[in-house]
Amino acid sequence: MSAQDTIEPTRRDFLYIATGMAGAVGAAAVAWPFIDQMRPDASTLALSTVEVDVSSLQPGQSLTVKWRGKPVFIRNRTPEEIDAAKNVSLDELKDPLARNANLSSDAQATDVDRSAGAGKENWLIMVGVCTHLGCIPLGQQGEYGGWFCPCHGSQYDTAGRIRKGPAPENMAVPVFAFTSDTKIRIG
């Protein structure tokens, strides 16, 4: 047989290729339901973001919403609460980091970096879970007028920063954005 000779495909070659293709299609058809069931459920995707209307919140009022199974505190702070938080020296803080998912991880725990930002300093949005053991702190209580966790005595100030007690970190600020002057999208 020389290099110029061509081999004609036989009926057997066709049957091998056709059987192999049918097997591959069958394997894909069997595997697809298993692969498809790994996608997140529609209800899970719906919980990944929450839009909240805060138009009814007056200064000094709070609202708690559920996001990803956790409470999120939204507070329209009074000018006195903002001043109290601004007048705290960073040296006095137990945790000097902002813990704000909207900023870099090394952002300082200043009042403006813990709040919704310049021009919206009155808004404080944070995950309402004590960073000690995951309890839910009570609002506008404790020595600092912020949040108090009665389980182990952790006290947070009006910017959600840990000031006293066993909690090691400030309460976390989730990813959020104002979609309008009165609506906040969390997540």
Question: Where in the sequence numbering do the catalytic residues fall?
Answer: 152
Contact call for residues 72 and 65 (beta carbons, < 8 A): yes
How far apart (Å, rounded) are the C-alpha atoms in residues 139 and 15? 74
Identify whether the C-beta of residue 38 lies closer than 8 Å to the C-beta of residue 58.
Answer: no
Rounded Cα distance between 72 and 84, Å, is: 22
Q: Do 153 and 164 form a contact (C-beta atoms < 8 A)? A: yes
Q: What is the C-alpha separation between 169 and 94, in angstroms, rounded?
A: 7
